[in-house]
Amino acid sequence: MHYNELFIKISYLTKLNNIKQTEIGKPIGLDKAAINKRAKNNSKFSDSEIKQIEQEFNVSLSDVVICENSKKRYFDENILLKQKNFGNKILELKNINNLSNIQMAGLLNITEEELQNLIESKSIPNITVLYNIKQNFKVSVDWLIFSD
The answer on 86 and 58 residing in a single domain is: no
The answer on 142 and 87 residing in a single domain is: yes
Residue ending a domain, choose from 19, 39, 63 = 63
Residues 34 and 38: their CA atoms lie apart, in Å, by 6
Residues 8 and 107: their CA atoms lie apart, in Å, by 33
The answer on 55 and 9 residing in a single domain is: yes
Q: Give residue-wise pLDDT tens across range 25-81.
A: 888 898 888 888 888 888 888 889 888 888 887 777 776 656 566 677 767 677 666
Tally of domains within the chain: 2
**Residue 72 in domain:** no
Mapped onto helix, strand or coil, the DSSP state of residue 44 is strand
Task: Tell me the pTM.
Answer: 0.53
Q: Classify residue 9 by burial, with Cβ atoms within 10 Å: 0-12, 13-18, 19+.
A: buried
**Residue 53 in domain:** yes
- Supply the range of the domain harboring residue 107: 79-146
